Amino acid sequence: MLYQTNEDVLRLVNAFENCTLPCAEWTHAAHFTVGMWYVVHHPAEEALRIMRDGINRYNPHCGAPTASDIPRERGYHETLTVLYIQAIERFCAENDPTMPIYALANALCESQYATKDFPLRHYTKEVLFSSEARYSYVLPDKSPLPM
């Protein structure tokens, strides 16, 4: 279990937003938890915008490229960001909205949506890791995300 209390999740979100989160703590699970916070508290398009802006504000603190850095082989990835926010929205719709936020975050991080291979169920490696997919959203070329 990653989180014990709602305050654990709020501390993570605040540290991310203030760019005080240690780079080593900006993990796959942290990405999902912050994204989930935005999905729970904002309409879909706004959650995506806030997440996109937040990653691009945070990345320079860890020496990672932002959306405006060209070319880039790592750092901000538009297609992954959109895919994961869509997956988080799906996860939240499938689960009890009255769950404490920390329990929802723990369940999300243990779900099929948070597995490292989840994107490759929907994209070929060639498409997912293309420059086009890094810079702009590309539709899945294997299977759409079920909605």
User: 99-138 pLDDT, tens per residue?
Assistant: 999 999 999 999 999 999 999 999 999 999 999 999 999 9
Listed range (17-31, 68-82, 90-104) with the worst mean pLDDT: 68-82
Question: Whole-angstrom Cα distance, residue 129 to residue 126?
Answer: 6
Instruction: Please report how many Cα atoms fall inside a 13 Å half-sphere around the Cα of residue 19, on the Cβ side.
Output: 12
Q: What is the mean pLDDT of residues 33-61?
A: 96
pLDDT value at 8 more than 80:
yes
Provide the pLDDT confidence category of residue 72 given band limits of 50, 70 and 90.
low
pTM for the whole structure: 0.92
* pLDDT of 146: 65
Provide the pLDDT confidence category of residue 68 given band limits of 50, 70 and 90.
low
Question: Whole-angstrom Cα distance, residue 67 to residue 77?
Answer: 7
Provide the pLDDT confidence category of residue 76 given band limits of 50, 70 and 90.
confident
Contacts 24+ apart (CB under 8 A), 14-23: 16/54, 16/58, 17/54, 19/57, 19/58, 19/61, 21/58, 23/61, 23/62, 23/63
Q: pLDDT averaged over the chain?
A: 92
